[in-house]
Structure 1
Amino acid sequence: MIGKIKNMMKFAKSIDFNELEKLSKKVDLGEVIAAVSKMDEKQLQMAMKMLTGSKKKKESPPINADFYGVEQKLSAEDHALKMKVSAFLEAEVKPIVNNYWLHDDFPFELIPKLAELNICGYVYEGYGCAGGSSLMDGIIASEFGRIDPSIATFLGVQSGLAMGSIYLCGSEEQKQEWLPQMQQLKKIGAFGLTEPEVGSGTAGGLTTTCKKTADGWVLNGQKKWIGNSTFSDITIIWARDVDDNQVKGFIVRKENPGFSVEKIKGKMALRIVQNGLITMTDCVVPESDRLQNANSFRDTAKVLQMTRAGVAWMAVGCARGAYENALEYTLKREQFGKPIASFQLIQNHLVEMLSNLTAMQTLVFRLSEMQDEGLLKDEHASLAKVFCTLRTRDIVSRAREVMGGNGILLEYNVARFLADAEAIYSYEGTKEINSLIVGRSITGFSAFV
């Protein structure tokens, strides 16, 4: 009885008596008091809760985009490196990327800071490289993609395509000359394969030519969409030998006569990446700068197989960045008096995003395990590239959707992922080309033209 009286007193104190006069015009206060007096203790507590609301703000669980805990399989050393990379990206890259993305410019001040991380050429043995696992290399690519796909692409071109071409196809002298400097980012590299009129047909249709002469090799032709090329020290150029019709690789220095680069402008994706249109007019390259172990497109394909796996990881990072920012937004954004994360339709979008992201994470994790075990084939890398970039498009679209109109503003950190996902979807082999690589593997029929 005493408890009931106390609760009634609390109930009475909760009423704003200045509002009683207004309230009396709407309800019969006598009936209300009579009804309250008949309430038991539990009913009074419920009434108090309805009137006062919960004074303790509901705390949301921490944002966990690694829902199946795949990163728990990392060693303590690898986990420490991941956290170091993540801390760097949060502190040095995230605060500035929107501005650089908006102005189609590159943050050159980041290059020496990136060098200090000592992650460039992470999987290579020797030449100052770490000799680390493909799995950890993928984790690093994903972390970069989670903060900014453009900076991730810069690193992918430098570490994967450019250094990888020299590491896999160069002579020992070429490796010694270039890899240590590129590992420290003292020399920047680019990779020139795609052409203005030849994208997917590079295996047999390169129009850029090379011809052996007494002075070395003469290169003629154009390359398009070449990342880093506007400021790179060297560009790996792939050209068709007019004498034997085989694809060969060259280290072309920026000061080579007959070599020029024009910046590609007006992009809607990866705007921080400085893509160039390269023109070579009787560009002379000495024999010493021909990649000595690149004698056919199969050698080029070795580089692409390795880096295609990295693109799949980068797509995972892009998707993860969009998901994390969208989830955080829905937890803070209120409509109708409560966070929009509490609504069913928003939760459905979030779960769809997390489902795709989790599938992507488990796929690329196994992909890198196969790479470390020496089991990786072209079709494995192609399947990962197809699936991850396709699912990334869906995730970034849903991330923008749950943010409504704010989703198209850079300041909310999803619009950039939405745009950048389109470039990741297309480069390093389109969905169609990679699908045909997988299709050839599972059917035995080549459907290429």
Structure 2
Amino acid sequence: MPNIFSSLKNAYQLFKHIDFNQLDALSKKVDLPKMVETISSLDEKQLSAMMKMMGGNTKKKELPPIEGDFYHLGDEALKDADRELQLKVRAVLEKDVKPLVNRYWNKAEFPFEIIPKLAELNICGLTYQGYGCPGKSNLMEGILAMEMARIDTSVSTFFGVQSGLAMGSIYLLGSEEQKQQWLPAMQQFKIIGAFGLTEPEVGSGAAGGLGTTAKRQGNKWIINGQKKWIGNAPFAEVTIIWARDLADDEVKGFLVKKENPGFVVEKMQDKMALRIVQNGLITLTNCEVDEEDRLQNANSFKDTAKVLKMTRAGVAWQAVGCARGAYEAALKYTQTRKQFGRPIASFQLIQNHLVEMLSNLTAMQTLCFRLSQLQDQGLLTDEHASLAKVFCSMRTRDVVSRAREVMGGNGILLEYDVARFVADAEAIYSYEGTKEINTLIVGRAITGFSAFV
């Protein structure tokens, strides 16, 4: 009797994963009573081995977490309160922003419903002292820029224009009265700002002479010209306009309100990247601006460059976020996508792509961490920021390309997220100084010779 029970028990263990149709087909090919008798003679170790061979062991394989910070730089560098803020921002972005971005990116519209969510986080103007700003480190600001770009580069660009370029111009170059007037409301997103430097015919050559001009007449300035690619401009309440003073040929900055006479904004259409960002073509026709709205401490392009140096580090962090988002999406996909009966993550060529992506990403993160440390120590130079921008924007291109490759045809579908990162990486590569211009800034620093024409 015990032998019968043992035989039945072992047979049940072996056949419980086989359905009736499979069992019926099996009975036509083998002598089942004889098989049961054979199974009864197996000990537990032999039975376990046979079940494993037949796929009877259904224990789910534990996979490592999907983590783009392979060297745990954030864990080591951030204080507890800052780490808590990073994770809080990440949670809001995952819950309230990520579900929206593909739909708005596809429509080339901005999700205004996310603005109150960003305001609640109290992270705008993160590094500034006073005016309602948190006064955090540049490292913390960079990490949060990365967190935003990890979800969507357009959202991080919107935030960077508001918090960095627009508020930064006022914070660095405005009078105390101007800071008090604008910064507290902008910090809470009650006023949205834009930054107007680039022109239809002047991009990298802004330092050599802007086409937009300003002429003082009494207590007013008359501004004429055009600005192009101006993020947030179609809905901004105030735009920092940079213009060449006809009296001394120096670049000066102006706080131009959307209701100022002679100020017109046209939304740019048909972009293939950063489609959530609302870029504007601004036309200024005898636009009148009061002297009190001129940035009082912006007297040359060297002053404008102070703002660009500060924000260029943030763009390098954006590149890290874009690459990290693509890497993590691709890794998750390869762990679940099966071909030839196995997850494609188990294939050697796929693993090679993933490791190449992670290597680039980790190098970018390490570079940006050091960049932000230099910034916090007051040691940041133009060439430091330019080197990071050059390297990170180039490596991001490589990461997103490999991410798309491991996903095959699905890599071009918005629902898998990587397609957005592929397109947006092209925008990061060009804005805040092209690869060539930033290369020449670094080249000048290391050789002592300027190669600018």
TM bucket, shorter chain: over 0.9
Following the alignment from structure 1 to structure 2, what is the Cα–Cα distance between the partners of residues 279 and 442?
40
Aligned to 1:397: 401
Q: Deviations over 1:167-186 (max 9, x none)?
A: 11111111111111111111
Alignment partner of 1:278: what SS? strand
Aligned to 2:122: 118
Which of 47, 54, 65 is the aligned partner of 1:62? Answer: 65
Following the alignment from structure 2 to structure 1, what is the Cα–Cα distance between the partners of residues 172 and 13?
79
Alignment partner of 1:219: what SS? strand
Aligned to 1:294: 298
Q: Does 1:307 find its partner at 2:311?
A: yes
Contact 1:7 1:41 survives alignment (8 Å): no
Alignment partner of 1:448: what SS? coil
Aligned to 2:24: 18
Following the alignment from structure 1 to structure 2, what is the Cα–Cα distance between the partners of residues 411 and 447?
45
Aligned to 1:270: 274
Structure 1: any 5+ residue segments left out of the alignment? none
Which of 215, 220, 227 is the aligned partner of 2:231? Answer: 227
Residues 11 and 119 of structure 1: CA distance in aligned 2, closer, same or farther (over 3 Å): same
Which of 336, 339, 344 is the aligned partner of 1:335? Answer: 339
Query: TM-score, structure 1 length as denominator?
Result: 0.94
RMSD after superposition? 2.3
Matched-pair identity in % = 70
Residues 246 and 13 of structure 1: CA distance in aligned 2, closer, same or farther (over 3 Å): closer
TM-superposed deviation, 1:53: 3.8
- Identify the range of structure 1 (435-444 vs 207-216) with the bigger mean alpha-carbon deviation: 207-216
Residues 7 and 89 of structure 1: CA distance in aligned 2, closer, same or farther (over 3 Å): farther
Structure 2: any 5+ residue segments left out of the alignment? 16-21
Aligned to 2:419: 415
Q: Deviations over 1:112-155 (max 9, x none)?
A: 22111111101001111111100001111111111111111011
Following the alignment from structure 1 to structure 2, what is the Cα–Cα distance between the partners of residues 13 and 115?
59
Contact 1:11 1:44 survives alignment (8 Å): no
Contact 1:100 1:272 survives alignment (8 Å): yes
Following the alignment from structure 2 to structure 1, what is the Cα–Cα distance between the partners of residues 395 and 278?
26
Following the alignment from structure 1 to structure 2, what is the Cα–Cα distance between the partners of residues 34 and 414?
55
Which of 357, 377, 385 is the aligned partner of 1:381? Answer: 385
Contact 1:7 1:44 survives alignment (8 Å): no
Matched AA of 1:211: K
Aligned to 2:50: 47
Alignment partner of 1:23: what SS? coil
Q: Does 1:435 find its partner at 2:439?
A: yes
Map 1:351-366 to 2 at 5 A.
Answer: 351-366=355-370
Contact 1:248 1:291 survives alignment (8 Å): yes
Matched AA of 2:55: T
Alignment partner of 2:130: what SS? coil
Contact 2:323 2:361 survives alignment (8 Å): yes
Alignment partner of 2:29: what SS? helix
Aligned to 2:246: 242
Aligned to 1:324: 328
TM-superposed deviation, 1:347: 0.8
Contact 2:10 2:39 survives alignment (8 Å): no
TM-superposed deviation, 1:287: 0.8
TM-superposed deviation, 1:299: 0.3
Query: TM-score, structure 2 length as denominator?
Result: 0.93
Alignment partner of 1:230: what SS? helix
